[in-house]
Chain A
Amino acid sequence: MGIERRRIAVRGLVQGVGFRPFVYRLALNCSLSGWVANHSGGVQIEIEGKVGDIDQFLQRLPLEKPPHSLILKLKTEVLAPQASTGFEIHESKVAAEQSTLMLPDLAPCEHCQTELQDPQNRRYRYPFINCTHCGPRYSIVDKLPYDRANTAMSSFPLCAQCQDEYRNPEDRRFHAEPNACPQCGPQLQFCDAHGKVLCIQQEALHETLTSLANGQIVAIKGVGGFQLLVDANNVDALRALRKRKQRPHKPFALLYAALTAVRRDCQVSELEASLLTSSERPIVLLEAKPGVKIDDQVAPGSPELGVMLPASPLHLLLAEKYRAPLVATSGNLAEEPICIDNTEALERLGKIADHFLLHDRRIVRPLDDSVLRVVENRPLMLRRARGYAPLPITQAKLSQQAMAQPFLALGADLKNTVALSHSGWIYPSQHIGDLGSASAFERFGRTIEDLTGLQQRQPHTLIHDQHPGYSSHRWALKQRAPRLEVQHHVAHFFSCMAEHGHSGAALGVCWDGTGYDSSGIVRGGEFLYWDGIAKVEHIASLRTFPLPGGEKAIREPRRAAAGLLYEISGYIALQHRLLKCCFTRSERRNLITMLEGEVNSPLCSSVGRLFDAVAALQGLCSQSSYEGQAAMALEHSARGIQNGDSYPFALNAHGDQWELDWAPCINALIHDEGRSLPQRAAVFHNTLAQMILSVAREMGQPHIFLSGGVFQNRRLTESTSTLLREHGFTVHSHSQVPPNDGGIALGQLHYAHCMAAAGQTSEG
């Protein structure tokens, strides 16, 4: 058998993930000689040896690749043998085109966890332990290429021992850029609320635990930003946190030390367990076990708990020592981005936290904890940030036409994310927040610079929402670049299609709270049809009803209820007993005046508001302190109910549009004395699923995409999907990006690409 030589170019996420040492070991294992080096946009390998050994190498390479690597393309060339001996790792050449793929932050690996607990190890209990397989990544990168000098670790010169590990291809820390130890790496500081350092290092950890045990609020510098911690079993501490954060009801997330502890308090499916323990370490919404001893202050009125496992060695040390679940909520004020800087945190959170656990490693960009929920036995992203950003959405492959120019989508103003597309991939940013806040808007600008800078692409076209009051829209107007406006629900629809790599004809069900279109109606119960070529048609919508007080009605579900009943029966509606208990007499009098005089009472077709109205009419939530509170109350109320019934409704033709009339459903619901509240809530959910089915049948389009914040509702998504599938439809819902406005940027891009493709087609 002859000796052959091959050159292999690997493209994808193969730098900074231990890919070269892996190739080195694999080559030696397969008795091959040659070398491996980082190269333009990937890794280049030359191997020489027997043909059988080469085949074995090529077979094992994609199968045994390091856990966090991603191979996008593998190209092999045959070379003349050079009679080489041994295998070498060549130093990186600075290539003309750097790889723009970068890893998200990774939770501690098994090896590092073992070392962390080993008193003999030099990194025993060192909160910044990491290796090639784990540790901070995106949160510490200033610029590419991913070298230590370009990260927040640049200010920590490696000690001799760490340097040896870094240079040794046989070591787990070979080229681990954030490599550190207690001698040379970052250090902890425990401070009072004014920033006075009280103690450092292991003592700082110890004092943090003591402070938590004393019921105090500690702000800790986490992976992608500050978090506020309190003992989840200390009611007074929880109350204090709620009061100081002015967050009366919105659920807090819980940090557990280990999966076994989570299983004691929550139902955990296999998929949920794998999400919890994944290196992304998101918050996963889990069903609490009956009778669990978690105080109601953690997630008032909710049968679910947001749970996460330690995302960093620091969290691991704290959670393991503390033994009790800790509340871990983002270290920010209201809807502002989380704090990442020590000084900023002391200033912004000084009135909330009693103590601060700081360290001296910079966080380069804020990355909130990601949030997921399992729906239909698939993960459903609710907030995409730490652990997931900055990876591209690989399903959303672009057409050749769309690859010509980089596009930048600016997202929606709430739950804002932006996204950049170039060279065939879409890169969504991490969750940014509500652009109504000055600091989030500033962060929006910086994220755009960050994303375009790291990807080394200047966007050619800007894509944004139509809403004229959106800060993102105003920002776009100020740039001198071609723009494309995309209607809010069109973006939702295309966001879901993008995730499934779909661009053919489809029916989109876009249900959310509020989206702008030029009609002046507050939209949110929309059905769109995409012809697969160039046109989106609005084909059906929910019957409209007024929202007395406009935006105020979004925070007060009782107003949506008043508007809904007013739409059915006019001013008499305000005499209804269900409204009498939510409003004073004088409020009801003014509401009638507002509704009749159309004073700040815009019409809406929003399913989000329909949920609010029903929740208020059922006495579940008359005023809400956070988004989605009323809808969640209704969903939770129906928990565990098996009931296939639905209320009547009507689908009426209005010109070339369909209108779903909810009035028969609401009439039946408010007079439904025979059913309990949970039963009524379940039947209401079923009715909505039936409504979707009725439109789907009229359209006859087999591919249906569900998007919009309403589909964060597990019961609705599951019952709709099941029902549609029973009737032969193919149903697609979100998984990698949120169905809420966090997914808008992806949809804007996909729509722009489809339009670009259509333009090309029609021109030639």
Chain B
Amino acid sequence: LGHGSGGEMTQQLLSTYIQPLFNNAWIDQAHDSATLPWGADRLVFTTDSFVITPLFFPGGDIGKLAIYGTVNDLAMGAAEAKFLSCSLILEEGLPLETLKKVLQSMAVAAEETGVKLVTGDTKVVERGKGDGIYINTSGVGILMDGQPIAPSRIRSGDQILLSGDIGRHGIAVMASREGLDFESALNSDCAPLNSAVSALIRGGVTLHCLRDLTRGGLATALVELAETSGRAIEVEESQIPVGESVQGACEMLGLDPLYVANEGRFVAFVPEESVDLASSILRETQVGSSCAKIGRVTDKTDAQVTLRNNLGCDRLLQRLPGEQLPRIC
């Protein structure tokens, strides 16, 4: 199960089982989407599957996630999503009403993000062999900008912008799934990121790399980027926005918000001279109103992420080995 957590085991699965078998220049980009040469345009292609319990949670549902997820993965490759496919795997006995609500939600999300859902497929599996609905979406988009945006473009001195406060999605889903009860209601951060990205590009910001934060949270995303770029990243704990209710819930649950999932947040690596422009543009967008400068890429070559905490101590961030395991003796 841990192989899907987005932590270390996912990485192992990818590098030991998948990449060696499907050896080509594009899979090795190790990014959420692949940029492909196609005539005059450059196509960007991505796919994602959505599995979540519960199907409806505060602030969203699986349908929205399925559209936003793929649109966001394309946006992280600086591509404008154009066409989507959608494949549904339904569990026998799923109320039609539920299916209808999910589809409606997908339609609204597609409309909102300007993407066309052009092909699809439906399969039904026996009762008990699925969690209601699984959705896979694939998407094709067109590069918005001439500049490639990828982990390999990360340079020392780059500043790291985080688009907003972290951890809402993971906590909202967990709270509604488990029936946890926190002081203030919490909504998932699930949101489309394409308009924020296009605003940055239209505004003339030089972008080196974009990454949406999903499973594994901010920490895992940064560790992955440090490893693929081969550079050391430093972040300041005090600069990372965490909402009060997420903080409270994490304290109760014993979770570290840095590792909690998000569905509408991203980090942008921009050169020093672009950072002020980028944050002023982001601040004007819906998803970026609470954006923050959280750290930078250093000139050290060890591929690691250090978090400077409020005491002034540096902690090394790691991928989680499967679930969070206590270390203290």
Contacts and interface: CB of A to CB of B under 8 A. Distances in A.
Contacts of B180: 590, 593-594, 599
Nearest to B322: A468
Interface in A27-50: none
A764 interface: no
Nearest to B183: A586
A436 B306 CA distance: 10
A361 interface: no
A551 B315 contact: no
Interface residues of B, number: 32
A516 B252 contact: no
Given A412-B329, A549-B253, A594 B178 contact: yes
Given A593-B178, A599-B178, A600-B253, A436 B327 contact: yes
Given A335-B313, A441-B316, A549 B252 contact: yes
B327 A514 contact: yes
B254 interface: yes
Interface in A413-462: 413-415, 436-439, 441
Which of B182, B251, B306, B328 has most A Cβ within 10 Å? B328
A348 B313 CA distance: 9
Contact of B321 (A351, A468, A593, A594): A468
Contacts of A627: 328-329
A590 B175 CA distance: 10
B325 interface: yes
A82 interface: no
B39 interface: no
A470 to B, nearest CB: 7
A513 interface: yes
B313 A336 contact: yes
A713 to B, nearest CB: 14
Nearest to A559: B254
A333 B312 contact: yes
Contact of A469 (B178, B253, B255, B321): B321
B181 interface: yes
A286 B179 CA distance: 50
A130 to B, nearest CB: 34
A552 B257 CA distance: 13
Interface in A586-641: 586-587, 589-590, 593-594, 597, 599-600, 602, 608, 627
A587 B252 contact: yes
A241 interface: no
A551 B254 contact: yes
Contact of A438 (B315, B327, B329): B315
Given A468-B8, A515-B329, A741-B329, A550 B314 contact: no
A554 interface: yes
B78 to A, nearest CB: 32
A137 B321 CA distance: 41
B251 A552 contact: yes
Given A246-B311, A437-B314, A594-B180, A470 B252 contact: no
Contact of B178 (A514, A547, A597): A597
Contacts of B8: 468
A213 B312 CA distance: 29
Contacts of B313: 333-336, 437, 439
A528 B125 CA distance: 48
Interface of A: 246, 333-336, 348, 351, 412-415, 436-439, 441, 467-471, 474, 488, 512-516, 522, 524, 547-554, 559, 586-587, 589-590, 593-594, 597, 599-600, 602, 608, 627, 709, 740-741
25 contacts: A246-B311, A333-B311, A334-B313, A348-B312, A351-B312, A414-B329, A436-B315, A437-B314, A437-B315, A467-B325, A468-B325, A469-B325, A488-B329, A549-B252, A549-B253, A550-B325, A551-B254, A551-B327, A590-B180, A594-B253, A599-B178, A600-B254, A600-B324, A602-B325, A608-B329
